[in-house]
Amino acid sequence: MWNCLSNTTSKYQRSYSFCQKEALAVKPPARNQEEESTLKLGIVLGIIGGIVAILGHVPQPMRMTSFGLPPYSVFTLEEMEDATDNFDPSNLVGEGSQGQLYKGWLRDGSVVLVKCLKLKQKRSPQALQQHMEVISKLRHRHLVSVLGHCIVTYQDHPSTASTVFVVLENISNGSLKDHLIDWRKRDVLKWPQRMAITMGIARGIQYLHTGGILGNDLKIDNILLDESLTAKISSYNINLPSKLERSLAESPSKLRDMIDPSMRGTFAYESLKTVVQITINCLCRDPMGRPTVEDVLWHMQYSVQVQEGWSSSGNLSGNLSGNLSNKL
């Protein structure tokens, strides 16, 4: 076969002029546009799939440090006292109706803000712990991130929390209120800066409201500004645990008071509590916090076993609708 590639023999070699002019003038066949689009789409999907696969193997603490922050921690009262030099007045940054705000230094050298909240209502440590677990997952450019907490209980009532210390990332440029009141700082806030701050606040509120976190306490002195004048909401909250969730965490009698009166005396408390808890988990706003179907079935079967054991021990008079196992 005649070609322009042979370098061992001239038997099938085309002439030099043909290879330089006529052969090079021939264009390769045009690729089908649909095939090319399909190829590009396949490459893009492959890249996206690879990224998702990598992110799926990133540990949770590493994901939470994407803002350059340490993982969330639960501190002791001793650590809070060490961080603030026993809450020395010289470290007091601000004070409001909700409590005091101190500047502190953790043992690793990190500079933080410590908010001291005196509780006016009785709360169990368990309910507050659940409350803080939700807050700990909030990470947004326009929110002051919560880095940890410490729950202190009454010495004579260890089942009731008295104080909560909330550890926040340090935002060192002061509040929006300071910048608007102080004429030296106010001069820095031109119209473009003020618009950017307003947009930042709006984005922070949108993030909170999108997740159903409607209890943010928006005041001008709760808006902090970092070195680049990025607005960060420093006081935000979530809806307090529902009455049902608090009943689970506080005492059996409160949960019993909430059920249908016709059911009283017919159930084992552990069986009822298990079903209620898995139901609450199924209603979690965050899809990642919801149990799998297998997990739901396991808890339901466990609840049935507890109930049957309680019934067979003579706690239930009469046969109420037969064997519960046959109902699942």
Amino acid at 291: P
**β-pairing, 73-74 with 146-153?**
parallel
User: Is 217 in the active site?
Assistant: yes
Tokens of 54: 């990598």
Q: Within 13 A of 44's CA, how many CA atoms are on the CB side?
A: 6
Q: Catalytic one among 88, 182, 217, 286? A: 217
Whether 94 and 113 have beta carbons less than 8 Å apart is answered as no
Distance CA 234, CA 201 (A): 11
Residue in the block written with tokens 């193997």: 57
User: Active-site positions?
Assistant: 217
